A and B are shown apart, each in its own frame.
Chain A
Amino acid sequence: MVVKKDKTELGDRLVHELQEFREVIIAKYPKKVAKKRAKSIVVNNPDNPPEIQANVRTIPGIITQRGCTYAGCKGVVLGPTRDIVNITHGPIGCGFYSWLTRRNQTLPIDENDSNFITYCFSTDMQDSNIVFGGEEKLKQAIREAYELFRPHTIAIFSTCPVGLIGDDVHRVAKHMMEEIGGGINIFGFSCEGYRGVSQSAGHHIANNGLFKNLIGRDDSVNGSLEYRVNLLGEYNIGGDAFELERIFEKCGINLIATFSGNSTIKKFENAHTADLNMVMCHRSINYVAEMMETAFGIPWIKVQPIGARSTIKMLRRVAQYFGSKKLIDRVEKIITEEMIEVDKACKDARKFTVGKLAMLFVGGSRAHHYQDLFEELGMVTIAAGYEFGHRDDYEGRRVIPNIKIDADSRNIEEIVVTKDSTRYKPRKTEKELNELKVNGLELGEYDGMMKQMGKGTLVIDDLSHYEMDKLIEKYHPDVFCAGIKEKFCVQKMGIPLKQLHNYDSGGPYAGFKGAINFYQDIAMLVNTSIWKELKAPWEGDAFIEATFVC
């Protein structure tokens, strides 16, 4: 494993170089652009994380990784739930591109269980709908969806023109709920693509919708009364949720709801009967955690079960939270059991990976979480950044009070949540909470990415194509992690790219078995023979000399 000392030494070596590199890349931009980008490219200091500019508008024309608000709302947060009919209200494209493109797997319990994930529903707005309004078409689409599928829940997702022409999807939802009746739940999201600076705004809007329309609708308490938890910000890419479900079940931890990998609406509706929320992707779901704490008194902890050690840490923290000897013992027993295979796989992979360089530019938590796995592989992350993170995801939640709320963030609805008059129930007494804190269990805290990264490493928010190109040209990392848009640009340069949005059709990477998969996949990536064959034999100097001598 990479020890802290290694990172510091590497940091000392690189700090000067990376600082210089930073200045060179910034110099290329037009003056105004350079000024803006300079604030989003910082040299890290884990002991005292520097301020980074994040969650601000992307500079037009810069070639960004980012997507839109609709993608964050419909694609990311609501997409993985199988028994809801998600209707995209807009021209055909938005629904089409968010159809089966995120690899969230789902496992219906039997043949009768609903699963709409393989379907794309759209109102396919035409110019006449833009001119005369699309509400009637939307109503008719809902009628048809109901007639064909009889779903218990329908959601409507607004695309750019919807907000501009003034279609009120919330009014339509209410109207159709009354028209259809029978307890059907229909709600809308004002998640037009332009609403925020990235997908992040869509996450927030989705969180608000989950809380307003689903969480708390069903008070029935299902399953064991012990160790009741929710997992938030897990989307079951490549089967991650299945592996985590396996681990929790083995440990006797009762998973009430996952937001939203392998999820159903019913589970969201009684998620408030859990006693602890575990937040995995802080960026996309911390709002739900906060709202559930305020309304129902459920505390939350940050977990990152990506990497075997981090998974262990998560399990121990959950056991510590519940404070039961039975659970603590069981968790330890399972850790010991699981780690036999993990250690073996890690040892095998490390033959190929130790000392190699990684760079991660992806998402709003993955660029942090996956550093754990690279550490386990003995690899060093010298540059990283998020696509749509906020300052707290970099510098830790302690900076939240200092984050300036700009016009773009103010556009997003902040819903006022108060204590639920009947159902608020503190899960721990003040004394218990203090004890947990003294013993190192921070509730409602997240330290961010920078604390974990070495001194002198580069942290870049909303990396541009140009910056990526230059980073690779100069540092030739052994593995670059990003998404599909970056994949083949990077690979043309002879550097393997690991997609951390869709895992290159691999996974799961979460939990213990996931760690094993990741070790093997990274070992494969750095060990794949074809990367040594990029030049034809006759393109090398040696060949020319040899030919000449002959």
Chain B
Amino acid sequence: MLLRHTTEKEIDRKALTINPVKTCQPIGAMYAALGVHRCLPHSHGSQGCCSYHRSMLTRHFKEPILSSTSSFSEGASVFGGSSNLISAIDTIFTVYDPDVIAVHTTCLSETIGDDMAQIISKAKEEEKIPKNKTVIYCNTPSYIGTHITGYSNQLSAFVNFFSISTPKKRNVVNLVAGWMEPSDMREIKRISRIMEARTILFPDMSDVLDTPLNGKFEMYPSGGATIQEITAIGDSKFTIGLGAYSTENACVKLENKCKVRFEIVEIPIGLKATDRFVISLSRHANVPIPDILTEERGRLVDLIADNSKYFYKKRVALFGDPDTLIPLIEFLLTLDMKPVYVVTGTAGNHFNRSMQELLSEKVSEAKYKSGECADMFQLHQWIKQKSVDLLIGNTYGKYIARDENIPFVRFGFPVTDRPGNNYFPHVGYVGASNLVIKILEKILDHKDRTCHESKVEFQM
């Protein structure tokens, strides 16, 4: 057994997290900053943070992840990281020539209390920041919130530093992307395009973290929301935030700063969340919903109807991030599956409320937990108490799946042992179809491999 020390016996844990379903803020900030064109994320802390984040993002995306660090030593930790950051800014602009350096802090620089605004203005005074180049920052102490908080803080920082409201308003709807895959962002853009809605997607990791192999390494690939775009979102007529946890703060910031009203919808995973997104975009961009989308929706409904018997009342355990878990669980309910166990390390009332609304009637036996000690060890203990038919989560789930002999669908961050995050979206009707097929394949493969020989059938 891989997790041989896990038993069904729970104790009231208050301090020890075992097999977390979250990581720290800075990696989220780094990921968000990669979705801005010609922006280099910079980690203000000891160099292990930057190394760990780059490694984990690389394992997931199988793409270059470039980011620099202030390389704190013991001296910097005592006397402050000001000279490290100023020297970093100089080196970065000289050698790597980004348009923007997006500095995020770490638990180290936060604990010693480095004043980022002051350090950056000092760098400006010392003429380390070339003309037309910008250094921005966000505070991402690792001991508050999770990677999702860091992502959210980085987006707010972009709005804070760049977005401007001018008298010239534009007939554009902003789409603020929550933590999703580059393939999902590509799909969101495709949907907007076929709806003929004028949109700006921000951040945008497509064409940054899914670039072609052609013999040329581009430190700053063609994709990413441009600074002009992030500046211009202040003149847009409306903002749709996709995912409350990762985008609401940025939307609020933009409304306060530039008076752009906003609506938060779930990341469009599954039938109903996609319906809501499409309706919202149609309404706010003032465009009709084209037949092509209705047909895509119909094909998804057809696929589900054809296979509904394989989903009906199947017990599912899930772990991941709230912005993706909430619509995903709603979708599983659309499939008549039973999400019985759910954990996320990211705390917040919105998640608990959503679970209550979604599950209390339909799956009365459901258990869910968020925040501190809401970890995979807890999830595994529940599974030990009463097993499930399917497990959905990031690669760390494979250990539970193997021990308990449960079909396992990889979903979330990080997925380090299978390719495909860059290719097959999970959002929109097409993405939902991909998800349905993925779930079906896992369940049916498991059945084919484990059922009695006499039960193996040519057709299903």
Contacts and interface: CB of A to CB of B under 8 A. Distances in A.
A152 to B, nearest CB: 13
Interface stretch (B72-80, B226-234, B330-338, B452-460): B72-80
Q: Which of B42, B69, B107 has the most CB of A within 10 A?
A: B107
Contacts of B372: 124, 126
Given A59-B91, A61-B68, A97-B56, A92 B74 contact: no
Contact of B47 (A66, A139, A149, A484): A66
A535 to B, nearest CB: 7
5 contacts: A64-B47, A68-B49, A95-B20, A114-B4, A138-B15
B47 A130 contact: no
Q: Which of A28, A140, A465, A488 has the most CB of B within 10 A?
A: A488
Contacts of A140: 14-16
A30 interface: yes
A30 B90 contact: yes
Interface in B6-43: 11, 13-20, 22-24, 26-27, 42
Contact of B88 (A61, A93, A163): A61
Interface of A: 28-30, 32-33, 57-71, 87, 90-101, 108, 111, 114-116, 118-127, 129-130, 137-145, 147-149, 159-161, 163-165, 192-199, 407-408, 411, 464-466, 469, 483-485, 487-494, 534-535
Q: Which 10 A-B pairs have the closest CB atoms?
A: A68-B48, A93-B24, A61-B88, A60-B88, A61-B91, A140-B15, A91-B142, A97-B52, A193-B46, A494-B215
B62 to A, nearest CB: 6
Contact of A68 (B2, B46, B213): B46
Given A58-B47, A96-B23, A144 B11 contact: yes
Given A92-B146, A121-B18, A144-B14, A61 B92 contact: yes
Contacts of B71: 57-60, 64, 66
B66 A465 contact: yes
B387 to A, nearest CB: 19
B355 interface: no
Contacts of B19: 99, 119-120
Q: Which of B17, B22, B68, B214 has the most CB of A within 10 A?
A: B17
B68 A62 contact: yes
B18 A488 contact: no
B217 A493 contact: yes
B383 to A, nearest CB: 15
Contact of A115 (B4, B111, B143): B4
Contacts of A97: 23, 52-53, 55-56
Nearest to B146: A92
A160 B144 contact: no
Given A126-B143, A164-B108, A466-B95, A534 B5 contact: no
A193 B48 contact: yes
B107 A119 contact: no
A69 B73 CA distance: 10
A466 B17 CA distance: 39
B45 A33 contact: no
Contacts of B211: 492
A95 B15 CA distance: 14
A485 B65 contact: yes
Contacts of B49: 68, 93, 193
